[in-house]
Amino acid sequence: MRSIQFREALREAMSEEMRRDKSVFLMGEEVAEYNGAYKVSQGMLDEFGPERVIDTPIAELGFAGIGVGAAMNGLRPIIEFMTFNFSLVAIDQVINSAAKLMSMSGGQYGAPMVFRGPTGSAGMLSSQHSQNFENWYANTPGLKVIVPSNPYDAKGLLKSAIRDNDPVIFMESEQMYGDKGEVPEEEYTIPIGVADIKREGSDVTIVSFGKMMKVALAAAEELAEDGINAEVIDLRTVRPIDYKTLVESVKKTNRMVVVEEAWPLASISAELAYHIQSNAFDYMDAPVKRVTCRDVPLPYAPTLIEASLPNVERTIEAVKSVMYKKA
C-alpha cells in the first residue's frame, strides 16, 4: 500500500468529496492562492476554482458565520481555521449557531459543515498558539469532535465528517502534517464515534487521541521491555465517545491510564476517569491515572515545553503506579 503524508490524506479527502458532491466547498485564510498555511489545500484552487476554494480576510467570526448560513441553505462548507486558537474569535458562530440550529428550529434547519484546522502545541509558538480546545467543543451538544492520529484515520474520518448532517469539529496537529502512513487508493470511510485498538494488551489500558497517540504507543513499547503488556486505544472521536470499547478493555486489563495534551481541569481524561470508575469499578485494581499538560499556559522555551507536555516517561510512571498500587 502507498504511504502518503497526513496533509495529503486530508487533501485527498476534501478533493474526493468535492468531486462527489458539488455542494462541498472550502473556505478560510490562505486556503486558495497560498495553497493553505500548511499546504493541506495545495492544488485545490487549480482544480475547483475560486468559487469553491475561497480565500477569506483575517475575520474568523465573519467567515464562520458565512459558512453557517451556507450550510443552512443546502451547501456543505469546510471552514478552515489557520489554528484552532483563532477559532475563539468565531466560537459564537460555532456554539450558538451551528451547534444549536437543528434543535432550535425543530429539525427545520441543520448545519452540515466541518470546522477544521490544527490544534495543540506546535513547538516554540508560546501560549496563544499552543492550546487544546477539544474538551471545550466536546462539551457542546449538537457538535461532533474528531481528533485523528494518523493519515489513514484522518482521510476516512474527514470524508465521514463532510458527509455528516451535523456540524463537525475536525482537529489536526500541525506537528503531524508531514507524518507518513499507509492510505489505500480505493474509496473508504471510517465511522464517527468508534475507537480503535491500536495495540492489543492484557495488563493495562492506555487511552489517548491525536498527537498524544505517539506518546502512548512509544510508552507501550518501552513497557513491554519490562514485561508490562499495554493495550493502547485511540479514541479518534471525543464526541461522541466510544465508551463501550473502553469499558470492555478495562474489564480485561483492570487498569487505565489516559494521556491527553490538554490541561487537567474539566478535560476529556477527567470525563473518561469518571465514566470508567462509574461503569467498571468492580473490575478495577487501581484508580484511573491521568497524564496531561501541566496546568500552566504553555511556555516558549523548548525546555519548559518539554517539562509541560505529556511524555513517554510520565506515561510509563503513571502505568507503573497503577500496576503496583491496589485500589
Active site residues: 60, 129
Give the list of residues 6+ apart from residue 117 with CB closer than 8 angstroms, or none: 28, 80, 81, 82, 83, 84, 86, 87, 170, 171, 172
Task: Write down the residue that cell numbers 484522518 correspond to.
Answer: 154
- CA Rg value for the chain: 20
C-alpha cell at 146: 474528531
Question: For residues 169 and 148, is the Cβ–Cβ distance under 8 A?
Answer: no
Residue 296: Cβ-neighbour burial (10 angstroms; 0-12, 13-18, 19+) = exposed
Rounded CA-CA distance 288/238 in Å is 18
Rounded CA-CA distance 205/201 in Å is 7
Amino acid at 88: L
